[in-house]
């Protein structure tokens, strides 16, 4: 055992992790050399840990600056910490503190704090003869430029997207809500990952119960690490056996800001560009930010199109199966003839035909997803030709089936939320089985089961089926049809805002005489 | 609890697999598109059926099946199942053809019972009487026409759209039979040497047997009196036999009805008042239409009245009431109706019926 530990941690290391844990509870000592040996013991085999020894220019005390290269901003360390301390002589003019030109500084006594901050990109200044260390915020790691998120692009909205640093993300949200009431609560989640999760809400709008519930769920978490917002969502959602997403995860600051303004709360997870928003309802997954920036009539049309495509994506293949094997009467005679003529060449029963094509489509979609764009296009072309032409000519599927499959594919792509779209794509398979067994009756049973599930589902103890169940007529102004903005004078009930009114409309501007 | 739930779901899933026995894939059916019934020389019931052939290997697109000497439609279906390529399904039947011989000898309604009793059968198939041999018509396969059932359906629909014949679906026939205040009327067709033509309307009496036939112009009048016109009704009138006036074609539109009923001296009395707009479509003689407007109105009114009363005389002769005046009798004179309820045909024939059309020519067309 010892030998392996030696191999893994290096020869200067503490003998066990337990010993280290004990040490971390201790305070630092006055002796700089002793402190540095402890740091070296704690961070064996850590070549990116930099320890810079120097003498403070004014007092001549030996000191050391400890930081991790790569997590820190080199320029800030060199010019704003090391240079003033080594060459300037205004040390302690007023405060008796080392005069580094860094805004955010902290004092730490415990080894535990020092180690944590060190790993977060802070620089630690240890001075001989002092029993506390100074921590400088020199965070600066490689990060992506702000660009438009690929999955949530918009035509008329803002083109900014979140990145992987929560500080920046919060700033992006704050740009939309420069208000004192925008409050934040910070949590550290994950024993090892120590991920910073920030809860954002409007203190005078958000419902305290919702906030309390969210807080409770985050605090209850005891996990090793959180890498992505999706992971966090799965830990804190109401029903993890449901196929429907209960939180929206968005990469758009404008979308998140508008949710916060309606009274919802948002979780910004450091290291993930996705921001989690809750409580959500089923219908809110069919809305986009663009709905509010286009004219209300066309926005309403697009919204109703999305709900129509929800039904097409869910039920069209099952309808095809039910029609072809149970209820021919429902089809017009001419359609029966052409369906019959193309079906008769197909050796498979409709359910197998439909399953095959739908699964093929899913494979095509998934295979194109992770390929570089030029190859992805090639996959599309191959798939298109195979589905569209060859399969029909070879007599494996009927050409009506090809139309059905492509229509469902298009319809499922219209749904703006990726999570919701995935849920609906998956749900259509059980309904296809039901329709093959029971025909239209099966489809109706499936529909009933889905509706019952949506009604019973909750998101942060807020009804998921609202505004339909429970019925809130006032929310219909912004559900399937978006009324003109001036008529939506209240925040949606579904977000449970404490303050409902959001605008005063005194009629249109009259012409002055 | 969870195990019980899982077990319930699995059990119901297993049970569901039995349900699929109900399904027959479309291409495995022998989908009845037209169905026909007639009597053979010996007076036995014969049932015919046509169904589409989907297979690209078959040369013909239509298959005609016949079942001789059967007792009912259902038995016919069993025979069809035995001889056809797939299972007989009646859900998409377009036309039900009945031979005139059959209509004359047997009550039609009980023969169609299975259509109403089995919900999988179509009740919107068009009910048609055939003047002549049904067998010949069912085997008719013209090269320049779509398949027989589609051809017949289109034929009947387009003729009805011109208001030249009634269109009675099985469902409507059910109503016409059960309604004591009227007698059924169905489309009548005839197979010519080269084509099939709609000859007009066949009238059935209250016992469901054939009573009389109407030609196409009479059928239009019947539709007009039935208040069953949706599109302009074309009429051709011969104004007078002399040289200066000849034929005139009009479209009758926007008819407002008022039916005055009374019961005088053991007789029902009906006055069918029709207020109609007329559009002149064609005239084959010279007349100054604008100057003679009143005269023309008057003449058309008289001719229309004359023809309607001719039709009513014919209906009275056969004691049939396809117009449905019995419904008015019941509505306005219930006590008296109650007495003749089961014998309305006779009461209708004794009733006094006056038709008073009021014609207003609205347009002479775009030329003078």
For chain A, what are the domain ranges? Answer: 2-137, 166-291, 294-456
Interface of B with A in 82-111 (CB under 8 A): 89, 91-92, 94
Minimal Cα distance from B89: which residue of A? Answer: A328
Interface test with A, best of B20, B30, B124 (most A CBs within 10 A): B20
Q: Do B193 and B318 lie in a common domain?
A: no
Indicate the angle between helix axes A418-438 and A350-369, nearest 10 degrees.
Answer: 170
Nearest by CB: A345 against B56, B122, B153: B56
CB spacing of A343 vs B54 below 8 angstroms: yes
B54: contact with A, CB 8 A cutoff: yes
Q: How far is A117 from chain B (nearest CA, A)?
A: 47
Q: Which residue has the higher pLDDT, A245 or B147?
A: A245
Q: What is the pLDDT of residue B17?
A: 66
Minimum CA–CA partner of A430 in chain B: B13
Question: Does B242 lie in the same domain as B190?
Answer: no
- Half-sphere exposure of A195 toward its Cβ, with a 13 Å CA cutoff? 28
| A234 has a chain B CB within 8 A of its CB | no
Cα-to-chain-centroid distance, residue B38: 18
Check whether residue B208 and residue B261 sit in a common domain: no
Span A71-98, pLDDT tens digits: 999 999 999 888 888 887 765 566 667 7
Question: So what's the pLDDT on residue A94?
Answer: 60
Distance (Å, whole) CA A234 – CA A246: 9
Q: How many CB pairs under 8 A join A and B?
A: 62
Are A477 and A487 within 8 A, CB to CB? yes
**Minimum CA–CA partner of B28 in chain A:** A344
Q: Burial code of A53-79, b = ≥16 C-beta within 10 A, e = fewer?
A: eeebbeeebebbbbbbeebbbeebbee
Evaluate whether residue B118 is within a structural domain: yes
What is d(CA B233, CA B225) in angstroms, rounded to the nearest whole number? 12
Q: Is residue B3 part of a domain?
A: no
Q: Do B92 and A329 touch (CB under 8 A)?
A: yes
Where residue B328 sits, what CATH number does that domain have?
3.30.300.210
Q: Are B128 and B185 in contact (CB under 8 A)?
A: no
pLDDT at A458 over 70: yes
Is position B320 within any domain?
yes
Give the residue-averaged pLDDT of A321-335.
88
Contact B27 A340 (CB under 8 A): yes
**Residues of chain A positioned with their CB less than 8 A from the CB of B29:** 328
Q: Which of B275, B272, B281 is nearest to B236 (CA)?
A: B281
Is the C-alpha dihedral spanning A411, A416, A422, A427 positive or negative? Answer: negative
Q: Does residue A336 belong to the interface with chain B, where contact is any CB pair within 8 Å?
A: yes
Q: Judge: B25–A333 Cβ closer than 8 Å, yes or no.
A: no
Q: Do A340 and B31 touch (CB under 8 A)?
A: yes
How much is the average pLDDT of A53-58? 86
In chain A, which among 430-459 make CB contacts under 8 A with chain B? Answer: 434, 436-439
This complex has an ipTM of 0.81
Chain A CB contacts of B58 below 8 Å: none
Instruction: Please give the tally of structural domains in chain B.
Output: 2
- Helices of type H across A263-389: 290-293, 296-325, 333-343, 350-369, 373-385
pLDDT of residue B195: 86
Residue B251 sits in the same domain as residue B341: yes
**What CA–CA distance (Å, rounded) separates A411 from A405?**
10
User: What is the pLDDT of chain A when averaged over all its residues?
Assistant: 88
Write out chain B residues lying below 8 Å of A339, CB-based: 26
- Starting at the earlier edge strand, list the strands of the sheet with B45-52: B62-70, B45-52, B34-39, B95-99, B126-131, B185-191, B196-204, B210-214
Nearest CA in chain B to A342: B54
Whether residue A26 lies within 8 A of chain B, CB to CB, comes out as: no
Distance from CA of B147 to the nearest CA of A (A): 11
Q: Does A332 touch chain B (CB under 8 A)?
A: no
Question: Å from A340 to nearest chain B CA?
Answer: 5
Which of A268-277, A368-377, B34-43, B276-285 shows the lowest mean pLDDT across its residues?
A368-377
Q: Which two tokens stand for residue A476?
A: 């219909």
pLDDT at A446 over 60: yes
Give the span between the Cα atoms of A53 and A125, in whole angstroms.
10
- Who among A344, A350, A436 is closest to B55 (CB)? A344
- Angle, CA of A274, A199 and A160, to the nearest 5°: 40
Please tell me whether residue B222 adopts helix, strand or coil conformation: helix
Print the domain residue range for B336: 232-368
Stated pTM of the model: 0.85
Q: Which of A333, A340, A434 sits opposite B54 (nearest CB)?
A: A340
Instruction: Tell me, yes or no, whether B83 and B154 share the same domain.
Output: yes
B302 Cβ neighbours under 8 A, 6+ residues apart? none
**Touching check for B57 and chain A: CB below 8 Å?**
no
Task: Mark whether B56 and B192 lie in a shared domain.
Answer: yes
In a domain, B119, yes or no: yes
Residue A384 has pLDDT above 80, yes or no: no
Same domain, B194 and B239: no
Q: What is the pLDDT of residue B229?
A: 86
Which residues are within 8 A (CB) of B254 and not within 5 positions of it... i.e. 6 or more apart?
Answer: B276, B277
Residues of A within 8 A of B27 (CB-CB) are 340, 343-344, 346
Confirm whether B293 is domain-assigned.
Answer: yes
Running along chain B, 368 residues long, what does each successive block of 10 average in pLDDT? 81 68 81 91 90 82 80 89 86 92 91 89 91 89 86 93 92 92 93 89 91 92 90 84 76 91 90 91 80 85 91 93 92 92 90 92 84
Among the candidates B214, B247, B265, a domain finishes at: B214
Contact B25 A328 (CB under 8 A): no
Q: Does B56 touch chain A (CB under 8 A)?
A: yes
The pLDDT assigned to B16 comes to: 65
Q: Is B296 a domain residue?
A: yes
Q: Where are the alpha helices (DSSP H) in chain B?
A: 2-19, 73-83, 100-105, 108-111, 113-117, 134-138, 148-161, 170-178, 216-225, 293-318, 325-332, 334-340, 344-350
Question: Which residue from A minimizes the CA distance to B22?
Answer: A326
Q: What is the C-alpha separation between B166 and B186, in angstroms, rounded? A: 6
- In the predicted model, what is the mean pLDDT of residues A437-461? 92
Tell me which residue of A217, A238, A215, A235 sits closest to A225, measured CA to CA: A235
Distant-in-sequence, close-in-space partners of B324: CB < 8 Å, separation ≥ 6:
B179, B181, B182, B226
User: Do B190 and B243 share a domain, yes or no?
Assistant: no
The verdict on residue B243 lying in a domain is: yes
Q: Are residues B68 and B100 in the same domain?
A: yes
Residues paired with A127 in a beta bridge: A63
Locate the chain A residue with the closest alpha carbon to B31: A328
pLDDT above 90 for A380:
no
Q: Say whether both B195 and B272 belong to one domain.
A: no
Are B63 and B140 found together in one domain?
Answer: yes
Residue A511 has pLDDT above 60, yes or no: no
Interface probe for B, chosen from A323, A326, A449 (most Cβ of B below 10 Å), is A326
Of A324, A334, A438, the CB nearest to B26: A324
Query: Which has the closest alpha carbon to B62: B51, B70, B72?
Result: B51
Contact B122 A329 (CB under 8 A): yes
Residues in A closer than 8 angstroms to B20, CB to CB, are 436-437
Chain B residues within 8 A of A338 when measuring between CB atoms: none
Phi, psi at B316, each rounded to 5°: -60, -40
| No. of helices (H) and no. of strands (E), chain A | 19, 12
Question: Is B26 within 8 Å of A325 when comparing Cβ atoms?
Answer: yes
A467 contacts chain B (CB < 8 A): no
Distance from the Cα of B19 to chain A's closest Cα (Å) equals: 6
Query: According to the model, what pLDDT value does residue A383 have?
Result: 78
Would strands B352-363 and B267-283 be described as parallel, antiparallel, or unpaired?
parallel
The pLDDT tens digits of the residues spanning A288-321 come to 888 988 999 999 999 999 999 999 999 999 999 9
What is the tens place of the pLDDT at every residue in A149-208?
A: 888 888 888 899 999 999 999 999 999 999 999 999 999 999 888 899 999 999 999 999
Report the run of H or E that residue A387 belongs to, with start and end: none
B226 domain residue, yes or no? no
B33/B182 same-domain check: yes
């Amino acid at each position: 055992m010892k030998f392996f530990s030696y191999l893994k941690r290096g020869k200067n290391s503490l003998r066990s992790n337990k010993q280290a844990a004990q040490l971390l509870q201790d305070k630092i000592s006055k002796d700089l050399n002793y402190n540095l040996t402890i740091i070296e013991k704690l961070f064996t085999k850590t070549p990116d840990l930099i320890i810079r020894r120097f003498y403070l220019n004014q007092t001549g005390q030996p000191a050391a600056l400890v930081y991790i290269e790569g997590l820190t901003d080199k320029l800030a360390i060199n010019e704003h910490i090391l240079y003033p301390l080594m060459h300037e002589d205004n040390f302690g003019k007023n405060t008796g503190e080392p005069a580094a030109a860094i805004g955010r500084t902290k004092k730490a006594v415990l080894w535990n704090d020092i180690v944590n901050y060190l790993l977060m990109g802070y620089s630690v200044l240890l001075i001989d003869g002092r029993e506390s260390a100074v921590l400088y915020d020199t965070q600066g790691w490689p990060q992506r430029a702000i660009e438009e998120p690929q999955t949530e692009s918009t035509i008329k909205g803002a083109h900014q997207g979140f990145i992987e640093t929560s500080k920046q993300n919060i700033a992006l949200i704050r740009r939309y809500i420069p208000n004192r009431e925008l409050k934040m609560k910070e949590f550290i989640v994950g024993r090892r990952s120590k991920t910073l999760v920030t809860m954002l809400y409007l203190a005078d709008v958000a419902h305290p119960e919702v906030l309390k519930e969210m807080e409770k769920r985050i605090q209850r978490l005891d996990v090793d690490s959180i890498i992505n917002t999706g992971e966090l969502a799965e830990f804190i959602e109401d029903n993890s056996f449901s196929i429907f997403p209960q939180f929206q995860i968005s990469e758009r600051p404008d979308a998140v800001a508008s949710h916060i303004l309606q009274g919802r709360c948002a979780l910004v997870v450091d290291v993930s560009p996705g921001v989690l928003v809750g409580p959500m309802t089923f219908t809110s997954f069919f809305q986009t930010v663009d709905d509010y920036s286009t004219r209300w009539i066309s926005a309403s049309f697009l919204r109703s199109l999305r709900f129509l495509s929800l039904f097409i994506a869910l039920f069209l293949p099952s309808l095809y199966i039910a029609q072809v094997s149970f209820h021919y009467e429902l089809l017009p005679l001419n359609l029966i003839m052409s369906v019959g003529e193309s079906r008769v060449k197909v050796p498979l029963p409709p359910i197998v035909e439909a399953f095959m094509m739908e699964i093929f489509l899913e494979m095509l979609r998934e295979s194109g997803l992770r390929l570089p764009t030029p190859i992805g296009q090639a996959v599309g072309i191959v798939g298109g030709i195979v589905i569209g032409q060859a399969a029909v000519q070879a007599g494996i599927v009927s050409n009506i089936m090809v139309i059905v499959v492509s229509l469902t594919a298009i319809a499922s792509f219209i749904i703006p939320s990726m999570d919701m779209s995935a849920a609906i794509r998956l749900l259509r398979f059980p309904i296809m089985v039901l329709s093959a067994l029971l025909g239209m009756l099966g489809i109706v049973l499936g529909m009933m089961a889905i509706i019952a599930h949506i009604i019973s589902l909750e998101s942060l103890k807020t009804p998921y089926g609202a505004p339909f169940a429970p019925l809130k007529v006032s929310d219909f102004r912004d559900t399937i049809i978006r009324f003109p903005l001036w008529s939506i004078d209240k925040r949606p009930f579904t977000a449970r805002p404490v303050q409902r009114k959001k605008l005063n409309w005194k009629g249109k501007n009259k012409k002055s005489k | 609890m969870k195990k019980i739930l899982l077990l319930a779901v699995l059990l119901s899933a297993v049970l569901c697999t039995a349900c699929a026995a109900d399904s027959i894939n479309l291409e495995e059916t022998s989908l009845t598109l037209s169905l026909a019934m007639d009597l053979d020389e010996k007076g036995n019931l014969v049932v015919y059926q046509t169904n589409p052939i989907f297979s690209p290997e078959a040369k013909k697109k239509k298959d005609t099946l016949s079942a001789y000497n059967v007792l009912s439609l259902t038995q016919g279906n069993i025979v069809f199942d035995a001889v056809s390529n797939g299972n007989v399904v009646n859900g998409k039947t377009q036309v039900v053809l009945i031979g005139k011989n059959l209509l004359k000898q047997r009550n039609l309604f009980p023969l169609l019972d299975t259509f109403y009793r089995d919900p999988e059968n179509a009740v919107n198939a068009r009910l048609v009487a055939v003047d002549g041999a049904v067998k010949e018509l069912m085997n008719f396969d013209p090269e320049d026409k779509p398949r027989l059932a589609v051809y017949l359906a289109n034929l009947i629909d387009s003729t009805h759209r011109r208001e030249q014949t009634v269109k009675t679906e099985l469902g409507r026939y059910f109503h016409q039979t059960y309604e004591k205040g009227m007698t059924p009327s169905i489309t009548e067709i005839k197979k010519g040497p080269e084509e099939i033509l709609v000859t007009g309307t066949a009238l059935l009496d209250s016992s469901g047997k054939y009573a009389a036939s109407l030609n196409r112009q009479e059928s239009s009048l019947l539709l007009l009196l039935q208040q069953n016109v949706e599109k302009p009704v074309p009429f051709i009138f011969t104004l007078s036999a002399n040289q200066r006036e000849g034929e005139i074609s009009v479209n009758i539109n926007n008819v407002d009805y008022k039916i005055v009923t009374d019961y005088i001296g053991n007789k029902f009395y009906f006055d069918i008042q029709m207020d109609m707009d007329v559009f002149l479509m064609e005239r084959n003689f010279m007349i100054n239409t604008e100057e003679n407007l009143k005269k023309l109105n008057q003449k058309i009114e008289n001719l229309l009245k004359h023809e309607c009363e001719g039709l009513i005389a014919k209906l009275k002769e056969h004691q049939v009431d396809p117009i449905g005046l019995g419904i008015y009798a019941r509505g306005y004179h219930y006590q008296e109706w109650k007495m003749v309820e089961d014998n309305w045909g006779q009461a209708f024939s004794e009733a006094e019926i006056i038709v008073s059309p009021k014609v207003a020519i609205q347009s002479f067309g775009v030329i003078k």
